Amino acid sequence: MAWNIWGHSLPEMETWITSHGFPKFRAKQLQDYLYRRYIFSFDDMTQLPGPMREWLKENAVLEKPVIMSHITSNDGDTTKLLVKLSDGSLVETVCMHHVYGNSICVSTQVGCAMGCIFCASTRNGLERNLTAGEILAQVYAFRELFDAPIHSIVLMGAGEPLTNYDEVLRFIRLVSDPGLLNISLRNITLSTCGIVPMIDRLAAEGLPITLAISLHAPNDTIRNRILPSSRHFKIEDVVAAAHRYFKKTGRRVTFEYILIKDVNASRENAEELCRLVGKMNCHFNLIPINGTEHIKLYPPSWKDVKIFQEILEKHGKSTTVRRQMGDEIQAACGQLKRRYLEKK
Ligand code: SF4
């Protein structure tokens, strides 16, 4: 069977190339074509000898997702892509253009099993895991589109990364590989719903990546309503796992907290949240929910957002309120795909 040459490290490419009788340095040339020059036709890889190009055409394939649609917000700050994988599955990926560089938010699964009430990606459940190469290709899709440096990667698109652990770890190693994109591990953020044993496993890897945990509530009752999959782990256990992650890696954990009017955004909720995390060194990213036509959930007023933030800060917590980027391009998870399928 033909080997998919996309999505491998240099040592993996060298092993494959030399096992078929070609000199080791040809692997580096192939990597340069794919990841520096974006040349994807074997015929155009003219530094490779003709017989090798013919052999590649018979024994290798290049299965890379194709961009189906892309849309940029009016302010130019956010671009969203819908890409089609080789089996026809569709995934979304988002690029946020910050002054310090581009930040790419990738999907790690087709669909998602987690069931968050505000998320369109979970409507049809989990379809399948993405391979490391398919996740990597989302980053390269933007690279080809803008030819601009990429500053950071956020694993926060469709899917729960820690339930696709091996391929996600492989992707993190690939994207930080000096021969590929050379993204600093410190500029990679993995977002999880809080799967306790997998957080401990990730901590043991010794990678200085940032962990973001979708907390979204100050207690189990509210959390189970917003994030049904969270019933498997008590909220205190999730916070304890975050604390262990910090102690093991030295990396402060970010708690993501979607603010939803009349659900989790009251003064009492903020006070209870402070009691839950105690003196732990952590950061809160407060995100007023994007109201959309598909869900009947609304953000609190800006005044209530500020009150919530002030209570956390009064208790010594570091906070940010995330800018709502790209509302008009449906930047929230799963919505571009949903629109595209509805049109079809
Ligand atoms: S928000 Fe993330 S974890 Fe939750 S359902 Fe959507 S894709 Fe899954």
- Which domains are delineated in the chain? 3-61 (1.10.150.530), 66-343 (3.20.20.70)
121 lines ligand 1 (CB under 6 A): yes
> Computed over its alpha carbons, how large is the radius of gyration of the chain?
21
SS3 string, the chain, reads CCEECCCCCHHHHHHHHHHCCCCCHHHHHHHHHHHCCCCCCHHHCCCCCHHHHHHHHHHEECCCCEEEEEEECCCCCEEEEEEECCCCCEEEEEEEEECCEEEEEECCEEECCCCCCCCHHHCCCEEEECCHHHHHHHHHHHHHHHCCCEEEEEECCCCCHHHCHHHHHHHHHHHCCCCCCCCCHHHEEEEECCCHHHHHHHHHCCCCCEEEEECCCCCHHHHHHHCHHHHHCCHHHHHHHHHHHHHHHCCCEEEEEEECCCCCCCHHHHHHHHHHHCCCCEEEEEEECCCCCCCCCCCCCHHHHHHHHHHHHHCCCEEEECCCCCHHHCCCCCHHHHHHHHHC
Q: Give residue 57 CA to ligand 1 midpoint distance, Å.
A: 39
- Mean local confidence (pLDDT), 71-80: 86
- Mean local confidence (pLDDT), 289-315: 89
Which residue would you say has higher pLDDT here, 123 or 324?
A: 123
Taking 70 as the threshold, does the pLDDT of residue 328 lie above it? Answer: no
Ligand 1 atom nearest the C-alpha of 157 is 7
Taking 90 as the threshold, does the pLDDT of residue 300 lie above it? Answer: yes
Q: What angle do the packed helices 25-35 and 10-19 form, to 10 degrees?
A: 130
Question: Mean pLDDT lowest for which of 5-19, 174-188, 292-306?
Answer: 292-306
Q: Please give the structure tokens belonging to residue 216.
A: 């979204």
120 lines ligand 1 (CB under 6 A): no
pLDDT class for 294, splitting at 50, 70, 90?
A: low
7 lines ligand 1 (CB under 6 A): no
pLDDT class for 341, splitting at 50, 70, 90?
A: low
- The separation between CA 286 and the C-alpha centre of its own chain, rounded to angstroms, equals 18
289 lines ligand 1 (CB under 6 A): no
Q: Give residue 290 CA to ligand 1 midpoint distance, Å.
A: 14
Rounded to whole angstroms, the Cα distance separating 324 from 233 reads 29
Place of tokens 């339930």: 163
Taking 60 as the threshold, does the pLDDT of residue 325 lie above it? Answer: no
Which residue would you say has higher pLDDT here, 212 or 71?
A: 212
Q: Please give the structure tokens belonging to residue 54.
A: 């013919």
Taking 90 as the threshold, does the pLDDT of residue 261 lie above it? Answer: yes
Rounded to whole angstroms, the Cα distance separating 28 from 60 reads 16
Q: Give residue 170 CA to ligand 1 midpoint distance, Å.
A: 21
pLDDT digits (tens, 9 = 90+) for 22-43: 999 999 999 999 998 889 999 9
Q: Indicate the pairing of strand 101-106 with strand 150-155.
A: parallel
Q: Which amino acid is at 162?
A: L
Positions marked catalytic: 92, 333
192 lines ligand 1 (CB under 6 A): no
Taking 70 as the threshold, does the pLDDT of residue 343 lie above it? Answer: no
Taking 90 as the threshold, does the pLDDT of residue 249 lie above it? Answer: yes
Question: Mean pLDDT lowest for which of 78-87, 169-178, 238-247?
Answer: 78-87
Residues of the chain with pLDDT > 90, as a percent, come to 74
Q: Give residue 315 CA to ligand 1 midpoint distance, Å.
A: 29
pLDDT class for 292, splitting at 50, 70, 90?
A: low
pLDDT for res 119: 87
Taking 60 as the threshold, does the pLDDT of residue 280 lie above it? Answer: yes
Q: Give residue 235 CA to ligand 1 midpoint distance, Å.
A: 17
pLDDT digits (tens, 9 = 90+) for 162-206: 999 999 999 999 999 998 999 999 999 999 999 999 999 999 999
Tell which one of 119, 289, 335, 337 to mutate to probe ligand 1, the residue whose CB is within 8 A of the most ligand atoms.
119
pLDDT class for 332, splitting at 50, 70, 90?
A: low
| Count of positions (residues) in the chain | 344
Taking 60 as the threshold, does the pLDDT of residue 228 lie above it? Answer: yes
pLDDT for res 290: 81
CA distances from 135 to 12, 16, 17, 83 (A): 18, 21, 23, 11
Average pLDDT, the chain: 91
Which residue would you say has higher pLDDT here, 329 or 54?
A: 54
pLDDT for res 293: 55
Please calculate the CA angle 304-312-288 and round it to the nearest 5 degrees. Answer: 40
Q: Whose CA is closest to atom 4 on ligand 1?
A: 116
pLDDT for res 168: 98
